Amino acid sequence: MNGPTQRSIREPLRTGLSPDVLWLAEDDGLIKCWELGREMAEKMPEVAEQASRGELPILMWKGGVEKELKIPEKFGTFRYLATWQGLRQEDLYIDPSQKIELTCTRTGVKVIYTPDSTKYSTP
């Protein structure tokens, strides 16, 4: 990714694109993750409500928080963050040159979203 990935909530969901375009293009699948979050908001309103309250629910990517942790922070993926923004019905905006920190309002755990996969990968 070279600059920020952004998309307005007013733009329609994309259709008819190949998996390569959806997941392997310059945005690294962030737009698709955001679109999945938008769709999830309609199908799972309770999860969308959690996200709207600032909670970081468990989703398909690393970055959610299930319970309070002994460590004060953890790392998550930009794909999680894009999905979360979609769940909240927000514009997509992720700048890969910046780490983004959010604190879950339910658990108090801080999550640092980063493109550095060594931070959140499981050995």
Q: What is the mean pLDDT of residues 102-106?
A: 95
What does the block give as tokens for 84? 């979360």
CA atoms of 95 and 85, how far apart (whole Å): 13
Model confidence at 92, pLDDT cuts 50, 70, 90, reads: very high
| d(C-alpha 30, C-alpha 10), whole Å | 17
What is the C-alpha to C-alpha distance for residues 107 and 73, in angstroms, rounded to an integer? 11
Domain ranges of the chain: 5-9+19-119
Residue 122 has pLDDT above 70, yes or no: no
Average pLDDT, integer, range 27-56: 97
Q: Once rounded to an integer, what is the mean pLDDT over residues 4-22? A: 94
Q: What's the CA angle centered on 23, arms 50 and 46, to 5 degrees? A: 15
- Read off the pTM: 0.91
User: For 59-75, what is the mean pLDDT?
Assistant: 87
Mean pLDDT of the chain: 92
Q: How confident is the model at residue 121, as a pLDDT?
A: 64
pLDDT at 116: 78
Which residue(s) pair with 110 in the sheet?
73, 103
pLDDT at 123 over 60: no
